[in-house]
Amino acid sequence: MAKPKAKTHLQKLVFLDTDKKNSKHDIIQIWVYENIEKIISDTIMKKNTHPFEIKDIRWEHQVMNINGRYTNVVGFIDIMVRFKSKFYFHDTDEYEDFTKQIFIEVKTEIPNLGALIRQMRTYQAYERNDTYYLIVAPDDKFKKLLNDQGFYFYKYEFPKDPTLLF
């Protein structure tokens, strides 16, 4: 049987995300969705004391390459969040209302750190400058390195009830 054809730009670049077919991935993604305000408060808005408002949450948000009449799907980010708050702008030296977005990538594990960073950098190449990037995974051994590379990280906490574990 022939291999399936690559449908997205990331697949053509050999970023085959096997996590997408893993039921553990769905469990973490649902948990992120249900805990999104705490996750944003603990990461992106940690140093910003202004309240924020979630405007939109989308699952499997497509990142597009649009160049004139040519369009193609670069890939799909697990969760995209748009939120509004006051942000500091250096050109005005003031806080102003602004809507930003967060791309959240869910991983059940990170077997290859370089591949994850390349995946996130590919999304950055096609998105707005006011987009934050956040990785959620149960293993936080790469947290500092990911933070140093400009990505937020949030550790998925296993449920306290042992019957709910993977």
Domain that holds residue 150: 23-55+68-159
75: domain CATH number is 3.40.1350
- Is 153 part of any domain? yes
Query: How far is the C-alpha of 124 from the C-alpha of 107, rounded, in Å?
Result: 18
Say which residues have a Cβ less than 8 Å from residue 50's Cβ, sequence separation at least 6: 85, 86, 87, 95
Which H helix or E strand runs over 122? helix 113-126
Residue 15 falls inside a structural domain: no
Q: Is 140 contained in some domain?
A: yes
Q: 130 in helix, strand or coil? A: coil
Q: Is residue 62 part of a domain?
A: no
DSSP string, 55-113: EEEEEEEEEEEEETTEEEEEEEEEEEEEEEEEEEETTTTEEEEEEEEEEEEE-S--S-H
Nearest in space to 147 (alpha carbons), one of 127, 158, 157, 132:
132
Computed over every residue of the chain, the mean pLDDT equals 85
Per-residue pLDDT at 165 exceeds 80: no
Tell whether 164 is covered by a domain.
no
Query: For residue range 48-80, what is the model confidence (pLDDT) as tens digits?
Result: 999 999 999 999 988 888 888 888 888 999 999
Is there a domain that residue 101 lies in?
yes
> In this predicted structure, what is the pLDDT of residue 18?
55
- Residues 5-61 have pLDDT tens digits of 555 555 555 455 555 566 889 999 999 999 999 999 999 999 999 999 999 999 998
| Structural domains of the chain, count | 1
* 45, part of any domain: yes
pLDDT band with cut points at 50, 70 and 90 for residue 151: very high
